[in-house]
Structure 1
């Protein structure tokens, strides 16, 4: 395990230092932008510490920016130990009490609140600043810019550069697969269900799932299955705020969710993603759906066991706009200038991450990273993240309340869809 830790640390440091050099031009004698005695402009931001791993999310880009602009600008981070879902819900409270930080992360994960913030002019339109900076705009992939563009044609979310690190698929334990006599990850949904049966027959729990929060892990699987089943399913997953779930795609979603929970652990009910994470990395389940970011959360010694694959039918769930960050409109002019500098820096940082990863030799990246890059570069079918498409009542209330009942057979798939439609009516009444 010690060797794995050293290898992982060296690789992370190598990538980080290379990006710093590229961003700064490796100039050791760069002229300071301000006098040492002058206090830097502080830009407030709240970032989370992952409760499962203790890792500070976005720490690398924060440290890189504060190093480059030391004495001029400083990201003043309030690190909070809570789930990202809890942070998102707290944004509403912070808005009501006028205590929002200068920079808001994860806003796009709350569709109705995001719309409310725009309607009330609580966040700034960044379009003129991006359009006026050709260097900045040229770093943004079209799919990312499109995702960050609101229905009025303006950009309120400072984009990252690439969709390369925003994708979700399935992490799987190749040792448990080997024990069940499975040589490779299934490429079709029929093969996926057969794989689950084969793992179960070998005494291995196939899936690490949970029901609390927005049902992240099971919803990734179910929505990917719906999107790849038919043209109608793909169209359904692309809808913003469906006006009903009473259709073939909705029924497939409910039936798939029910079926998934027949292959999971006994403690999946009424727990959040951290339970699923722990079950996977305790070796109690063979698969867990999640995104690229979990690669950095793989415990020491597990790199030799963990692999990554796209969902069956070569599908990846991806919504790069969820990584866009907003700037509150009430900040001072100097904070606004500093935040814009940071937003552009973050876009470039993200671009260089991609370029660095693609150019690195195999010995510097792990097998799971190679798996991920291969999946991203294999012309996958991109499926939108349901969290940016469906109403907040369904996500925040309906799923956590009725998903366990569906999984345990206390309500039928048809009942589940009725509750899903109730969420539409409730959401509309609240607007």
Structure 2
């Protein structure tokens, strides 16, 4: 069920790499072009997330930027975004922002992209098969089709490197992603069935990768190096916002927060001091406090969210706390991701985490490992790696395959 047709693979393998004399070689797909210039607005339209062990389009992401904001705050934020781009003066941005906020979420995200691009022509239509919107100009052509829960977007660079990106999610589990360039040097085809089976075929300059697995999570476990070194960097390069993996920095930080002991009275007082410092006369101290609170959001979350609701907050402190909360708006989803995979109880993962955290944080990981295994190896990554190599089961070893 996970094998690619042999004829398809043979066709892929027959494509020879393109070599240009005297030019530094860039892996196909990683060239700079219109996709990179528009990565922000493309990412607001196209974000992938987890659903169990599968990938799906994150439809909630379309409204994420306005979560927790009043209508006026959302309007102001959108006006500010629009005025930062050429061709949109303040009055026009204000009118456009009001119109965008009245649209359904997917259409709002698409129209934000269109407004920022500064299109030459556009059209929209509604029929029995759903709604279609498209525009072109200033180096980008785009089309979005909506039908029930089905979502499909096509983006095409009108100038070099001339890449085309297609993303489709039928709302029932079927997800397809296709990325190709105009010269035939790149073809990426990602397919996930409604049953969760996940397959990738990727040709880049003559090199072929074609593999599949029972789910995306299984695919990632088997081909971690490919996912993290090639697939995800390529999709990110063309603007797609990607889901976390167990090795993502925010996941590592959240796991560390969870295995730590509860805050001591001294740590609680430190957090409150940092919150008070958000209103300090010194800009440097306000910045330092903001960074410290954001970096330790998982530890200080309750205190931060409680402070953000205080009616006596100064505008400066309220703005900074709002920014901290917004920067960590996906924390609930990260926590759900960790809980579903029981990462705080995964010995192999904690051994990996021991190598990644700061030296001063290793004692917390060592304590959690001692509680799980009974081993007293202390905050020594090498000792834990050696022990784990000798004791992990065959099943756990297979999960580490790359």
After TM superposition, the score normalised by the length of structure 2 is: 0.24
Query: Given the two structures, how large is their TM-score scaled by the length of structure 1?
Result: 0.23
More strand by share: 2
- Structure with larger Rg: 2
